[in-house]
Structure formats: C-alpha cells, structure tokens
Structure 1
Amino acid sequence: MKKYAYIGCLGFVAVITTEFGIIGILPQVAEHYKISIDKAGYLLSAFALVIALTGPFMTLLTSGINRKNIMLAAIFMFLITGIVSSFSPPFWLLMLVRILPAFLQPVYIATALSVAISNANESKKNGLMSIVFNGVAIAMVTTVPFATWISGLWSWEYSFMIQTIVSLIALIAIYFFLPSIPVKEKKSYGSQVLILTQSPFILSTLANFFMVTAWFCTYSYFAEYLGKGKGMNTSMVSYMLLLFGVIGIMSNWIAGKMLNKNVAGTMAFFLSGTILIPVLLYVSDGSSWATILVIAIWGFLYSPSFLNASSYMISSAPNALEFANSLATSFGNLGVTLGTTVGGWIIITKGVEYTPWIGSVFGLLAFLMMIMRKVLEKKRSRELSGCQI
C-alpha cells in the first residue's frame, strides 16, 4: 500500500536527518570540541560501523516481533539521540548517543521496505521501494540543509533540535496511522542466512560496499570540500545541500521507474557518477556556476545509491527480502565507514581536493564486482541450458 510506503518514507527522513545531518556541521563540531576534522568524522563513521556490524543480526533477532512496534522503537531511539545531542554533551557522550540508534537503523529500513511492498504486485514493488527511499532525498532537500543553515545562523546545537522535531513527527505518524502488523509466519534463520553462500549475492554485496565507499570518500566531507576546496561559506553549503536534495527527489523517482525495467543497467548508470564526478569537479574549478551545475549532476547520480543497492542485492535473493535489505544497509554503512575514514586520511595527508579521485578507485572496483556477477550468471545459465538438453 502506498500509505505504508509514505509512512516508511517519513520515518526514513528522521533516520537520514540524524545519520547525515552531521555532515553539514562537522567543521563547527570539530571547532567546538577542539579536534581535527577526521576525528569529528568518527560521529558519522562510528554510527555507520555499528550498523554494518550489527544490522543483519538485529534484523534476524527482531524478525518475529510486530512490525509497528519495531518501527516505533527504532524512531524513539533517534528521538532520544536528538534531545541529548542538542545539549552539546561531552564528546564521548555525543558519540555514545549517536551510536545507540544505529543498532535499530537497519531494522527500521528493512521493516519499512517489507511493510511497504508486503501486498504489492511484483511490477509495483520497486516503485513502492523508491517512495520509501525518497526519504533520503527529502531529508537532503529539507531537514539536512535547513539544519546546516540554522547551525550557521545560530550554533550547531540547533541542528540536533531539528533532528529531534523530525523524529517526533515520524514517531507520531507511525503510532497513529500505521496499524498493528504482527508477523504471521517467521522464516527460519537458516533459510535466510543461506543467501550468504550464493556467489551472485556476495558479488552484489561487494558492489554495494564499493559503490557507497566511493561516494562517501567526498560526500562525508561535503561541507569541508565545498568550504576549502571551492571557497563556499556555511550558508552557500546549505544551499548546495538543498540543490543536492531537490535533484535527488527527481532522481529517486526516475531510478524507481528504471529499476522496474532493468536493475543491473540502472545500478551501472548511476554508479558511473563515481568516476564522472571527480573529472567534472576538476574541470569546473574556478567557475562557481560550473561547480553548481556539477553539484546538481552529483546529486542526481548519487541520490538513488541506496535504492539501487537494495534492489540489486534483492534481485539475487528474492526469498529473503528483509535479511537481504538489512545486509544492503549494513554493507552500505560499512562503505560509509570506509569512505569517511579514507576521505579523512586523504584530507589530513594530501588535501580535501583529492578525495573525489580516491573515490573513483572504489567506483571501478564496484563495476568489477558487477561484471563478475554478470559473467557468473551467464555461465550458470549456459550450464542449466546444457543440462536441459
């Protein structure tokens, strides 16, 4: 049902506002706590690492619990994070409350997606998934740039207040508009874990991991890159985040339509941005208008990344939807962790302008995984045809 997809989307806005809202204020947080920008980046990479390490296990453990209760519990944790963070606690406490909701983030995403497509026709599933994933783009349009703009207007603590309000709205919407959804038939752990032995799924997972790593080498330090690499102030960065998100909403919608026709082709098309954008950013240097155009293209090619990754991974494991989704989220966030770590190291050792280039290396690795999966599937198809003859 579209109603469930839109509720899932609203919760996704809260999730993304909390996870990625920190990107626009990292320089201010680093200055407040008197730490380097790469150490401030731990607030993003630690969050993502917890998701990567615990996501699949948490999804399996909660697979028998009422879907509405799981979604409420997850968003409540994000609400608590926003409240505590807005009081600018000691850095260790800020890190702790950032990490806590990460345990339930992949559970929320996997649950929201499965609820959205539970009674849908096969032809409409990718479209409904794109509605849920539009929460990423909507957050990039509204709450993330607004939180960045507010932090520049007053202080970075107000950014977390925005996150708190969004989480509260999502919590209310889930409580009042989503019915109780008990699990009718709980799949065995073994039947779900079986997908980890399938080579196409493993290659799909690696493609997801390298793709997200490629994007986040630079995107994790979006404010830092545009500030020091392109000479933009905090206000201008917030406008660029807004542009990024506006383009992203359209991009997610287009990607949803494309995925219904060709999942691998859609994945490859948007993945090409990890190689194209570094070149365009380099060529546009010195021209503000050219840079703005490149950021719009960047937003278009980046925004459907998580939707594409989930669809690509699910296409190789259709019988373990929630577990496959949780693995997509986990390995995507492992990519966020590696991308943020590598990007931070490049900034400290070489300079922020080099981050897009290191990202392109991971983009090429993602393409290699896709090619290997295609070759493997063709080989298996020929073997099956030979057996039938």
Structure 2
Amino acid sequence: MLSIVILAIAAFVIVSTEFLIVGLLPAMAVDLGVSVPLAGQLVTLFAFTVMLFGPPLTLLLSHLNRKALFVAIMGVFALANALAALAPNLWVLGVARFIPALLLPVFWGTASETATRLVAPAQAGTAVARVYLGITAALLFGIPIGTLAAGTIGWRGAFWGFALLSLLTAVLLAVCMPAQAKPQRMRIGQQIRILRDGAFQWHVALSVVVFTAMFTAYTYLAETLQKLAGVAPAHVGWWLMAFGAVGLLGNALAGKMMDRSPLRATVFFTALLGLGMAGAALVPGTLHWLVVALAAWGIAYTALFPVNQVRVMQAAPQAQAFAGTMNVSAANAGIGLGAVVGGLAIRHLGLPSLGFAAAGIAAVAVAMALAMVRRQAKKQ
C-alpha cells in the first residue's frame, strides 16, 4: 500500500537523521573546537530526550489528524537539520538535535498505529514491519551514505542534504498520502491508565531488557570487528553494511511471525540474537563461522525493532499510539544502558567478553518472555 511505503520513506529519513551524527563526530569536533567525547554527548542528548519526552508529547498530540501530523513532523526535521548545518557552536547544534528528538517517538508511535489501521487485523504485524524497513534502509544506506558525503561536502553539507530529504518527504506525504480519519480523542487519564496494567508494565520492561542486550554488543561492533576479527578499518563500513543487508531477511521473517504471536516472536528472535552475539565472540578469527554468527545476529537485531513495537502496542489496544511511544522510550533506555554495560564489560573484562555479556542479558530477556507466554496461556 502506498501510504505504508511513504511512511517507510519517512522512517528512513528520521532514523538516518538520528544516527547520522555518529559518523560526523570527528569532523564536527574539529570544526566547532570541542573534544570528540564532548561532541558525543549530542548522541546522549538525543536518546534521553526521546526517552523522557516521547510519552507525554504523544499523549498531547495523538488526537491530531495523522496526515497533517506526519507532514508537520517532517517539516520540523527539515528545519532542525538546516539549523544543524548552520550551527556556529555546540550549543546551537544541541538545540538542533533536541527539537527533532522531541518528535521522533511521536512519529513512531502514531506511524505504527496508522500502519495497523491501514490493513486487516491479521496483517498488522506485516504492515508495521514494512514501515520498519525504513530502519533497515537507514542502517544499510542512509548512515553510510551520510558519512561518505561528509567526507566530500563536509558535515554541514551532510545536514543540508538531510534537510532537503526531510522537506521532500514532507511534500510526498502531503501530496500522495490519502487523507486519514481523525482519531477519536481520548482523555489523557484514559490513556495513562495502561501504565497501571501489570501485564503492560511487563511488556515495557521486556523491551528495556531486549534493547539493552542488543546494544551492549552492537554499540561496539565496529571495535569488535577491528580488534578481534582483524577487519581493516577501511573495510569496517562494508561489514556494517552487510550486517544491515542481512537484516532485510529479519524484517521479512518478523512480519510473518508477528502476525501469529509477537510475544513468541520475541522469544525466538531474542534467543537467536544471543546465539549470534555469543557465536561472534567465540569464533572471531574464523571467517566462515564469524559470517554465520553475524548473519544470525543481524537477522535477529533487525527483526526485534518491529517485533517489540507490535508486542507492546497489542498489550494496550485501547491506546496504541501511547503504548507504541512507551516502547520507543523503553528502547532508548535500553540503548543507553547497553552502551554503559558494554563499556563496563570492555573496561573490566576485556573486549572478548562483550558478546557473552550481551548474550547473558538476552538470556534474561528470553526467560522473561517465556514466563509471559506461560502466563498468557493460563489466561486463555
């Protein structure tokens, strides 16, 4: 369906904008006269803004016309990227990163809900997975292309490029996306009532643990490839691109499995994730086994983005947009925790321990999910 394709394009631009800065940090730090670690705090600023402000803003905006909301969000991303391109110092750049971070979780919550409403209930998982193809495309093309562009047109030119992409996407949404029925306005009290639901709390907690497992190892994947697998620094980007390409299979599998049971899909893909991360730590010097381990890891990593989103949304059908945003906040909490846990593991146990530490967290998530499956079965 055209609307879902357009939402996937918007997702590509949004995720590329979020992670583009990772490849630009060295050049930005030099240009703005700050250290790389200080410039790196812009990544933290974005993640924690998403985590803290996403749920309340979704509560306030979820009643708005979806098409108008999506066009406005992409317009804000265009302006924010332009401001980043013009930023004279780190403070202005911080503002340019803070503003779009406010709206990113609003997009994910409402876009996921909109995708489920555009198709039959039995195809809801597949629809969300197709929107989440934007994430895979961003990891595969957007971030590497942006980083390469920075080497030719500078980091400011890269932000100008994404400002233009954001504007074009806003126009595409305005012209090609059919009008959507205005959602029924729910009182804030009605929506936040889901936070008192014990089952929903478990679903959000599971997302935190799953994303912590994912990013304990993924945050340092480039370092792992260089130091343990002996991949030349010039080739790391190609390995990461291949990791994202394999994820296309994970996205397709996720769509089919989510339509049956997103909770059981969480068990399967989290177990596969743990095996892949532990396998990569066991055989970093054996090329063919390393490729197998990374393939399993990449499939599970990409699949778990939409799987977690659909699982949490289905746990609160009466307030899906808010529930979806709660999952995005949980994911960002996990991303931050994963980076911290991974850093501690490297510092105290060494880089070879990283895959095992991440796999251990994945095992905790699998145990949680299996307990939830059993509880769900008893209720039925």
| TM-score (normalizing by structure 2) | 0.89
1:295 match = 294
For residues 243 and 328 of structure 2, what CA distance do their matches in structure 1 show? 21
Q: How does 1:374-389 map to 2 (within 5 A)?
A: 374-381=373-380
1:226 match = 225
Q: How does 1:76-95 map to 2 (within 5 A)?
A: 76-86=75-85, 89-95=88-94
1:236 match = 235
- Rate the CA distance shift 1:98–1:218 in 2: closer, same or farther, 3 A: farther
8 Å CA contact retained: 1:255, 1:266? yes
- Rate the CA distance shift 1:184–1:331 in 2: closer, same or farther, 3 A: closer
Q: Does 1:364 align with 2:336?
A: no
2:111 match = 112
State the 1:348 CA deviation.
Answer: 5.3
**SS class of match (1:13):** helix
- Rate the CA distance shift 1:358–1:35 in 2: closer, same or farther, 3 A: farther
Q: How does 1:161-176 map to 2 (within 5 A)?
A: 161-176=160-175
1:341 match = 340
For residues 216 and 210 of structure 1, what CA distance do their matches in structure 2 show? 10
**Deviation larger for 349-358 or 190-199:** 349-358
For residues 252 and 170 of structure 1, what CA distance do their matches in structure 2 show? 23
For residues 300 and 194 of structure 1, what CA distance do their matches in structure 2 show? 35
Q: Does 1:331 align with 2:330?
A: yes
Q: Does 1:35 align with 2:35?
A: yes
8 Å CA contact retained: 1:126, 1:260? yes
**SS class of match (2:73):** helix
Give 5+ residue unaligned stretches, structure 1.
382-389
State the 1:372 CA deviation.
Answer: 3.1
1:384 match = none
1:140 match = 139
For residues 88 and 174 of structure 2, what CA distance do their matches in structure 1 show? 30
Letter in 2 for 1:69: A
- Rate the CA distance shift 1:189–1:229 in 2: closer, same or farther, 3 A: same
Between the two proteins, what is the percent identity of the paired residues?
Answer: 27
- Rate the CA distance shift 1:36–1:229 in 2: closer, same or farther, 3 A: farther
For residues 253 and 67 of structure 1, what CA distance do their matches in structure 2 show? 26
- Rate the CA distance shift 1:307–1:161 in 2: closer, same or farther, 3 A: same
State the 1:14 CA deviation.
Answer: 0.8
| Residues 134-182 of structure 1, C-alpha deviations (whole Å, 9 max, x = no match) | 1111112211222233345675555434433432332221121124435
**Deviation larger for 238-247 or 201-210:** 238-247
8 Å CA contact retained: 1:18, 1:163? yes
Q: Does 1:97 align with 2:108?
A: no
For residues 46 and 202 of structure 1, what CA distance do their matches in structure 2 show? 25
Letter in 1 for 2:35: I
Q: How does 1:208-357 map to 2 (within 5 A)?
A: 208-233=207-232, 235-288=234-287, 290-347=289-346, 351-357=350-356
- Rate the CA distance shift 1:375–1:42 in 2: closer, same or farther, 3 A: farther
1:160 match = 159
Q: Does 1:74 align with 2:78?
A: no
Q: CA RMSD in A?
A: 2.7
State the 1:250 CA deviation.
Answer: 2.3
- Rate the CA distance shift 1:206–1:246 in 2: closer, same or farther, 3 A: same
Letter in 1 for 2:14: V
8 Å CA contact retained: 1:78, 1:101? yes
- Rate the CA distance shift 1:294–1:374 in 2: closer, same or farther, 3 A: closer
For residues 267 and 109 of structure 1, what CA distance do their matches in structure 2 show? 19
| Residues 326-345 of structure 1, C-alpha deviations (whole Å, 9 max, x = no match) | 11111111111222233344
8 Å CA contact retained: 1:143, 1:162? no
For residues 29 and 183 of structure 2, what CA distance do their matches in structure 1 show? 48
8 Å CA contact retained: 2:266, 2:369? no
**SS class of match (1:320):** helix
For residues 202 and 15 of structure 2, what CA distance do their matches in structure 1 show? 26
**Deviation larger for 228-237 or 137-146:** 228-237
For residues 152 and 233 of structure 1, what CA distance do their matches in structure 2 show? 19
8 Å CA contact retained: 1:106, 1:330? yes
State the 1:346 CA deviation.
Answer: 4.2
For residues 204 and 136 of structure 1, what CA distance do their matches in structure 2 show? 22
Letter in 2 for 1:35: S
**SS class of match (2:249):** helix
Give 5+ residue unaligned stretches, structure 2.
none
8 Å CA contact retained: 1:152, 1:234? no
State the 1:196 CA deviation.
Answer: 1.4
For residues 42 and 271 of structure 1, what CA distance do their matches in structure 2 show? 29
**Deviation larger for 134-143 or 368-377:** 368-377
| TM-score (normalizing by structure 1) | 0.87
8 Å CA contact retained: 1:13, 1:139? yes
The structure where helix makes up a greater share of residues is: 2
For residues 74 and 40 of structure 1, what CA distance do their matches in structure 2 show? 25
**SS class of match (1:286):** coil
For residues 297 and 107 of structure 1, what CA distance do their matches in structure 2 show? 31
For residues 207 and 307 of structure 2, what CA distance do their matches in structure 1 show? 9
8 Å CA contact retained: 1:207, 1:365? no
8 Å CA contact retained: 2:276, 2:295? no
